A and B are shown apart, each in its own frame.
Chain A
């Protein structure tokens, strides 16, 4: 086990280094640069060149990378080229919104997926199972933004129960008025809950009839213990990887959901940064998302390893 943890962690560190290089290279490869954008179509080539010098864009790539990396180590993500404010400030504002959206959704998925999956898997083929299954397939088939718009139309506009949008609200405002978050969190939860529930359901349905469970019943073990201590842990192993996708999707910013509800979270921030060719911002976002992905996958692999220790033999 220890060997695997070490190997896997080393790989994660390597991945992070590669991401740093790739993120920087990405900025250099985008056609046009900030100077082009700031000056717009009216700038003369001379003006653009002057601006480039002013912004330090005429330095060689390795020098810019070095400066960027040095700043990064000191916690300085640079200043936005558009507004001149520190990138970290903007990120900080948006992380709050994304967390308000992602954390409740994650908590709901974590609690509901094993529960629904187990209930469904234990009553394979029953009316409840079929109902849950159909709902899952339906939700999976409807794109997030369509689901969001449908909910807004039905719950907010027709029934007038919940606010339809959160345009212009920051973290504090959202906290003061949590009703605004109900619909976006629901959409985000529904999206990820389907996949995960179905994965757990398949594992439980198979494990329940497996040789291990059958033998434990022969020895007289109670059904509840068989399911909770043996069938469910066996089913969670394969579901962990899917769960990692789900965490990435929620903490990495939910672009579509944020767009539908006018939330200013990380997802919309990333899109804006790319549209503005605001290189320091783009780099900061890419780094954040990549870091989350690497960390989440590291955690998922370690958890899967513990849940399916036989991998030691095959890996």
Chain B
């Protein structure tokens, strides 16, 4: 009768280990590693999109970012395609940075999507200061330390198809910390991007998100402080 030898057993264990490692790697999203260094143009784009805009309700010209995990919840007339789009952006975000985590989670949600009739958006925004953002609007209660603690995204329920899709992508990109618009027509953050056909984050926005979520770049940093940190880390060419 054939008997398995000790060599066979060890090779079986080894191949099982390899298989487990392979499964673990396949399940974990691949996170794009940081480049060795970035061009001054890339760094300027990062600072421009992340710092100081008319969108900052507190009028500060500082870094604003999430430090805890992002938990997303949808309210109102949500369609399956909306959830798919949100999950897609979350997936792209996960591929750019390990932290913070991002996922759909009804419990203690801190990024809330409201799919409501356009005429109701102003009423839901409530605060006078936030009424400037009536259309596909967002508001971002930010704590005094520059940490994003909650984001609300209002999408008009009447919006359909590509426009709805782009509104979700555009507003969600803002809420991830890229507060400013940019000049790249292929970007989610291009001004008037609800007419854009962008399918993914623009290369420059990817750089901005990666740099924004480097642990050394702290919330509430000024333009100069953030630039200095990147220079100290040798990340600027």
A binds B: no
